Amino acid sequence: MDKRLLGQGLEVSAIGLGCMSLSGAYGDALSITAAADLLRAAYDRGITFFDTAEIYGPFLNEKQLGKGLGPIRDKVVIATKFGFKLVEGEATAQGMDSRPEHIRAVCDASLERLGTDHIDLFYQHRVDPDVPIEDVAGTVAELIREGKVRHFGLSEADPVTIRRAHAVQPVTALQSEYSLWTRNIEAEVLPTLRELGIGLVPYSPLGRGFLTGSVKPDTVREGDFRHTMPRFSGEAGAHNFRLVEALQKLAEEKGCTAGQLALAWVLHQGDDVVPIPGTRRVERLEENIAAVDLALSASDFAAIEAVFPKDAVQGGRYR
């Protein structure tokens, strides 16, 4: 697979694998063995960039990656995250916590679960309004000097926060939701990243599966993270699915799937953009990888914009 460069010279595969679903966000968690098999299948097909977080599971996802990627640790890039207050036995975060001492504790715990001596890319999962971003960046800078972390990342941060963090410790990547149905970062965030030389890692580049056409409105069951998201249900869900159906027709004319067309659109936003679609199935993995080689012309972009215009999606990202 082709390689791409994020900020600070971090080389990764052109797409990565978002691993959240392996530990149960959209259904039951995979066993450690089944998750390891999928991770190795991704590596065997050219993916070298794997994204996890302590909150996925919680804690299970990092263990899955530790088991699956341990034998090839020196050949892959692992990103994980800090920034939430997690209580043992609780399934959800109890607020945010990016205090320096907590960042250090999370780092050490993540290293142990991942079975490694370093984290390639350590993101602040969400900005903590109670901790100055300079303190956060400074703490990660110390971890980098100590060899526990190699690169610093932010997630869902605004331009001002990005600039303040970058002035203390150069930021390698910003992870934010970005796809045909979530384009709010285009006006201010993307230009800031380009100015500072920071890469973009879009999560949910397939709209949490909705852009593939395989997830119908009002069909997401309870227990699935998407069940509470307004975009997937009611009038908003029905409206949004009509957009997807139009995208499917374009994809048929192009000889690909709607998911591949949506993912290719993200990939064509720049060589500093590395999406991380997630999946639990090898066939979907192969479908996503094939999107890397899907060329889009100016007329393709115009056709996509015509059937799926910016700001056409109804419903919020979260309740």
In tens, the pLDDT along 238-261 reads 999 999 999 999 999 999 999 999
H helical segments located in 94-233: 100-114, 133-145, 159-168, 189-196
Active site residue 56: yes
Which residue is catalytic, options 43, 56, 123, 178? 56
Residue 40, pLDDT above cutoff 80: yes
Domain residue ranges in the chain = 3-216+266-294
| One-letter amino acid of 315 | G
Residue-level pLDDT at 95: 93
What is the chain's length?
A: 319
Query: Average pLDDT of 141-156?
Result: 98
Span 99-146, pLDDT tens digits: 999 999 999 999 999 999 999 999 999 999 999 999 999 999 999 999
Confidence of residue 290 (pLDDT cuts 50, 70, 90): very high
Whether the pLDDT of residue 225 is over 80: the answer is no
CA-CA distances (angstroms) from residue 165 to 80, 127, 150, 231, 314?
A: 18, 11, 16, 32, 33
pLDDT for position 54:
96
What does the alpha-carbon distance between residue 277 and residue 47 come to, in Å, rounded to a whole number?
11
H-helix segments, the chain: 32-44, 60-69, 100-114, 133-145, 159-168, 189-196, 234-254, 258-267, 282-290, 298-307
The token pair that represents 58 in the structure block: 């919680």
192's tokens: 């800031």
Peptide bond before residue 205 is cis, with ω within 30 degrees of 0: no
Angle at 77 (CA atoms; ends 157, 51), nearest 5 degrees: 50
Mean pLDDT of the chain: 95
What is the chain's Cα-based Rg? 19
The pLDDT value recorded for residue 227 is 76
pLDDT value at 196 more than 90: yes
Residue 254 has φ and ψ, to the nearest 5°, of -85, -15
Q: Please determine, for residue 91, whether its predicted confidence score (pLDDT) is greater than 90.
A: no
* pLDDT at position 33: 95
d(CA 204, CA 60): 20
> What dotted CATH number matches 3-216+266-294?
3.20.20.100
User: String of b and e for 273-284 (b: at least 16 CB within 10 Å)?
Assistant: bbbbbbbbeeeb
Give residue 103's pLDDT: 98
Q: Where are the alpha helices (H) located in 26-99, listed in sequence order?
A: 32-44, 60-69
